[in-house]
Chains A and B, each alone.
Chain A
């Protein structure tokens, strides 16, 4: 048998693509079950209030209502209840309050009760019949109001962690995190060049187009099945089980197609509520969110921040100090560590004197959740603007400045340990040689500028598991513990095809439910392709070991004498049998199952450099992106077209937040722009084509040398635009999004200052 064309590095079309364009891909809102009921959630109209009483009797009496639940229908989760999930575990007290308020509401949109009824119209009507008695409290809708003297305290149990002497009084500042080395203040004082930038970034939403949707069914025997749109079937199962005190053996999570997630579908947002309703009414229950619910309180947006950065350098451009203060707006529930974003913002620079101080602040907003390299774009918006200002002070080319200070493999990371494999200098070389940087910017009718910014995201590894069976025709079937949010089935088809030396169409890769494959962590942290590839390599080897024994039996040889390549087992210089023939001969000889697990894969850190050209309308403050080029080191490109798609989508998300996307709250903590008309995602008219330059610096010790891909391409975007704007019109807005009115105000302020 001839070797098939190499599958690694090919732009294989998505194996699930035709189902999607045909409208046949199934998302949970598309599911129906016999005798199904429809659920709706009653949400708090107040940003901060005590729940005095909830009376559901009138709703229960409405014809067509099957069940109503409130916090009384769920076990109370004590403070400090952690479940193993992700790198740090998940705080189930927090998760339970995201799904159902208890005693107090902390944001507009927090769930207070839920109804299951004959149809969505009846369920909606029933919500209006639930009487909730609130004692309304003063809200703290933003960090300034939460941190001021005499601010309303959200949580009596929260005292600021990480300060000396230990804090005693309750506070909305939940923790302080410090990363420090060298003598920053001295270095700042003595260095000839210095720049300071402070920014405020609005809370923003992941903007997935599919609202949260789920369907729960509990059999008469008590086994619960949940079909949902999630980033992790196993982590979702753990959260539902803990919220309901339900044994994991009596619960199955079936991951459906995911209509976008970007970090927003890691935590549960109603799955346990749907199960409880289904138990209570003895029918399957489908719960689908409306867009207003998604935006206002039903799901976690991602954190707003206030960051101040001071940087300094010698006259030759060598960086001497980085100092940063980071306040992150966690929303209403504590426990959002700013550590990763602090580290990420400073990671790409070698510097002796470093001081990063971060604070986790609670406000009366939805608990924020992850969004694509969580905190990365906010941190870079501050740090990369500060570096750009420093270059302007130095009169130095910003690319040359980065080359002079670039982190390299083995240089010291912000946390003090040596960098694993990092390809930053390769990226900077590629930028230096590319027309987007070397070609002069054509003058236009309005001021134009070119910006450069870098981005870093560490990503993670954690656990991925799969198993591989071989069909009776010799074709491998891979069952993964990972959901597919970014083309995973396609890229893993390429990996499995490569491992077996078969064509991609001769292997099948599927996502398993939480009862059909081994535990895997969720699809987050740019980890799945890397770690699942490692699991498939291991499982393939185990399968081939089993098959070699079988082949040896038929070929009358020892297993060690049998070699396998491209679908054929062969004795050296002798007889051979194909994989298909082997399975046909031995189909009754027992199962062939190979298991693969990846747990401690080395990190594949992600680095990108972006260059953009903008034009600024000085009359209106409108920024037009003329050209955008994203450089990224992916280790090895499994599927270049898929990687381009990830980068392009990520950059456009970043452009949205950079220019138009931001939560706008009133003083009572109500979101004023809870629709996709007023919370404005980029349309096809708002963005140019995004050019991608893929660089390959393989990571040692990782199959194929893979790096994470999905997160870092959003990180530099807003800073890149801000740096281009600053070079066009000499102004930085300090605010993100950089809306026309904000930029116009900044330009006018400069004019009146100059006058």
Chain B
């Protein structure tokens, strides 16, 4: 199948890539653009490991085609840190046991980033709902929830 040239906005930059028409947004990010921080855990929208933000909203990148990317602003985990500096949310997750194997972590970081952008004072239930689409098999979620709550609290201070 012939390839298509795709121009998209990813992490604040305009990027171009040759993609197969069957490629998902996840394939575009991982295999064509080398942004492997976004993970594939199931390929059909059930696990949330490939969560990225599209125009600020969390989306499973495996459920969007690459050809749908033009005209959208896409944010991946690589776009969060500036000059190697992690966000407060990332630091809190790393420093308080909010990541173990780490495979679900980029997706959780982005779901929680979107939550904190729209809700400065989320309850525990709000936090659990915001990451309910992100399966984690290692942590039991508690330390993740606490790290997100701590970040919100620190930002309010």
Contact = CB atoms under 8 A, between A and B. Distances in A.
Identify which of A14, A29, A683 gathers the most chain B CB atoms within 10 Å of its CB. Answer: A683
Interface string B25-42: 000001000101111111
Nearest to A294: B42
Contacts of A11: 97
Interface in A635-680: 641-642, 644-645, 648-653, 675-677
A487 B86 contact: no
A503 interface: no
Interface string B91-126: 101111111111111100100000000000000000
A84 interface: no
A585 to B, nearest CB: 35
A644 B40 CA distance: 27
A257 B95 CA distance: 19
Nearest to B143: A645
Contacts of A208: 101, 103, 137
A27 B39 contact: yes
Contacts of A652: 139-141
B10 interface: no
A681 interface: yes
Contacts of A30: 30, 36
Nearest to A27: B103
The main secondary structure of chain B at its interface with chain A is loop
A182 interface: no
B1 A121 contact: yes
A720 interface: no
Contacts of B9: none
Interface in A338-371: none
Identify which of A16, A259, A685 gathers the most chain B CB atoms within 10 Å of its CB. Answer: A259
B16 interface: no
A23 B38 contact: yes
Contact of B99 (A20, A261, A684, A685): A20
Given A119-B20, A684-B141, A642 B97 contact: yes
A211 interface: yes
A581 B33 CA distance: 46
B22 to A, nearest CB: 6
Contacts of B42: 211, 290-291, 675-676
B137 A681 contact: yes
Nearest to A210: B103
28 contacts: A18-B86, A20-B105, A21-B77, A21-B90, A21-B94, A21-B99, A21-B102, A22-B86, A23-B38, A30-B30, A209-B101, A209-B135, A209-B136, A211-B41, A257-B101, A259-B41, A262-B137, A290-B43, A291-B41, A645-B97, A645-B138, A650-B140, A651-B140, A675-B46, A677-B46, A684-B136, A684-B145, A690-B140
Interface band, chain A: 35 or more
Contacts of A210: 39, 41, 101, 103
- The 4 tightest CB contacts between A and B, nearest first, are A23-B37, A20-B102, A259-B103, A648-B140
Contacts of A684: 127-129, 131-132, 134, 136, 141, 144-145
B138 A260 contact: yes
B38 to A, nearest CB: 7
A210 B109 CA distance: 17
A672 to B, nearest CB: 15
A553 interface: no
A65 to B, nearest CB: 15
A486 interface: yes
Interface band, chain B: 35 or more
A687 interface: yes
A17 B95 contact: yes
A684 B147 CA distance: 14
A280 to B, nearest CB: 23
Contact of A23 (B44, B76, B95, B139): B76
A701 interface: no
Interface string A15-53: 011111111111101101000000000000000000000
Given A22-B86, A290-B43, A676-B42, A681 B135 contact: yes
Nearest to B77: A23
Contacts of B13: none
Identify which of B46, B49, B100, B131 gathers the most chain A CB atoms within 10 Å of its CB. Answer: B100
Nearest to B125: A685
B94 A17 contact: yes
A140 interface: no
B78 interface: yes
A258 interface: yes
A677 B60 CA distance: 14
A13 interface: yes
Contacts of A22: 37, 77-78, 80-81, 86, 90
B97 A121 contact: no
A689 interface: yes
Nearest to B23: A121
Contacts of B34: 32
Contacts of A207: 137
Contacts of B96: 13, 641
A687 B141 contact: yes
B140 A291 contact: no
A676 B135 contact: yes
B103 A649 contact: no
Nearest to A13: B95
A485 interface: yes
